[in-house]
Structure 1
Amino acid sequence: MYRGSNGEYIFRNNQDKELYLFLVDKYKERYGFKLYAYCIMDNHVHLLIETGKVPLSKIMQGIQQSYTQRINLKHSRTGHVFQQRYKALLCDWESYLLQLVKYIHLNPVEAWIYNGLNYKWSSHQDYLKVNKKSVVEVEFILEMLGGDIKRGVKEYRRFMNLDQGKMELSEFVLDEKKVHATVEEFKGLACFSC
């Protein structure tokens, strides 16, 4: 799991978060990976990606080095922004994939952040407003949930407990037995925290 070097925040303001998301999109275009969910917090990032031909380590190296160089220049600093290497978990079946999407989108709720699930730096809103241009491939998850996009949005709302008007965090617990491996390079889905 990436943490800020010396306990510092990775993102000092919204512009830093915009920059990180821009870089994710840039490297997504360059390396051809798919992004299914994200949440950018002040001190860490969650991304759910599917790699293609380019290994996860190269993707992350590009994003993290570019971000570090630009942030160091912007904030007149030197050295590492991230404390250590990212942590990656292999996701190899659909039910776990859906739970990871839910986990990532509930991150601001667990952190008691204002607006909770409607947190600006999460892909949750992309799942509710499908026609909006997004860096996230929401169609894959929505079709998995509902068979088509329109029904998928309805099922996504139900899956996230939006129609009940409450969030039940106890409903979601990652089962460590389901995590098959921490991986450095693989072809498949990965969720990682920075």
Structure 2
Amino acid sequence: MTRRTRYSGADVSQHIYDRGNNRQRIFADEQDYAHFAAAMFRFARKFEIAIHAWALMPNHFHILLTPSKPDTLPRFMQFLKSTYTTYFNMKNKRTGTIWEQRYKQLLADDQEYILELYRYIELNPVRAHLTKGPRGFHWTSYHTNAMGVPSGGLTPHPYYLLLGTDEHERQKNYREFVRAAFGKERSFYEAQVAILKTAAASIAVYGSEEFHKKISERVTFALPHYQRLVIMTEQESG
């Protein structure tokens, strides 16, 4: 099978996703989660990659990040996955890979797309019925982005910073944005989840036509393109 080419340019925000081989658990206890999170932030600093949002689930992980230099993302992922594999195999007295395949990559632009990825990633535990609300699951960036819990490894995305003039206003507005997924924006949010689950199957672009064109000019292979759905109420549509 031909290995899919990866986009390794700089300054493009990306949703990175990977899961355990045969959907097996890769995080069995708090020690596992903590070990992966520490390695994630350590290698992000090493390769000058900004991490904006993340969620560690029992059998997979999601990271929203932006590389500052070209060709660093593949190295970051190689170091992160191989380091965790070594730890996991030693702990569980096993050998071989624990990952299903190469990581998935979704390129994104514009505030609406970036914030949708924030919400999608941090609500993973809720959709998986691990908790009733995002505050109830420890291993996501929601606690920093929405609640202000200090995190030395997290970098607010420039579009997240537009949510308010100070951190308290940004956190309040972000909490309201997340809550809207279960209220007035529920239909819209569920539509975006369906789009993002489809897009996670391969490298793809989640953004405007202009952004897709810009990225396509940098690569030599076709990129699937996904956009946010516009869902109007009967009143809005007349």
Q: Give the alignment partner of residue 170 of structure 1, picking from 155, 174, 187.
A: 187
Q: Which residue of 1 aligns with 2:39?
A: 23
Q: TM-score, normalised by structure 1?
A: 0.82
Q: Give the alignment partner of residue 142 of structure 2, picking from 116, 124, 128.
A: 124
Alpha-carbon shift at residue 32 of structure 1 (Å) = 0.8
Asked whether the equivalents of residues 160 and 167 of structure 1 are also in contact (C-alpha less than 8 Å), the reply is no
> Is 1:68 the counterpart of 2:96 in the alignment?
no
String of CA shifts for 1:29-79, please: whole Å, max 9, x gaps: 111110100010001101000011143211111100111011111111100
Higher RCO, 1 vs 2 (CA within 8 Å, ≥6 residues apart):
1
Q: TM-score, normalised by structure 2?
A: 0.68
For residues 107 and 134 of structure 1, the distance between their equivalents in structure 2, rounded to whole angstroms, comes to: 22
Asked whether the equivalents of residues 33 and 52 of structure 1 are also in contact (C-alpha less than 8 Å), the reply is yes
Structure 1 residue ranges without an equivalent (≥5): 185-194
For residues 66 and 182 of structure 2, the distance between their equivalents in structure 1, rounded to whole angstroms, comes to: 32
Q: Give the alignment partner of residue 83 of structure 1, picking from 86, 100, 119.
A: 100
Structure 2 residue ranges without an equivalent (≥5): 1-16, 200-204, 220-238
The residue type paired with residue 121 of structure 1 is W
SS at match of 1:146: coil
Kindly tell me the number of residue pairs found equivalent between the two proteins: 183
Q: Alpha carbons of 1:142 and 1:91: their partners in 2 closer, same or farther (altered >3 Å)?
A: closer
Alpha-carbon shift at residue 168 of structure 1 (Å) = 5.6
Q: Give the alignment partner of residue 11 of structure 1, picking from 27, 36, 42.
A: 27
Q: Alpha carbons of 1:166 and 1:81: their partners in 2 closer, same or farther (altered >3 Å)?
A: same
* C-alpha RMSD of matched pairs (Å): 2.7
Stretch of structure 1 that moved more, 129-138 or 12-21 = 129-138
For residues 168 and 95 of structure 1, the distance between their equivalents in structure 2, rounded to whole angstroms, comes to: 13
SS at match of 2:130: coil
Alpha-carbon shift at residue 154 of structure 1 (Å) = 1.7
Stretch of structure 1 that moved more, 126-135 or 144-153 = 126-135
SS at match of 2:101: coil
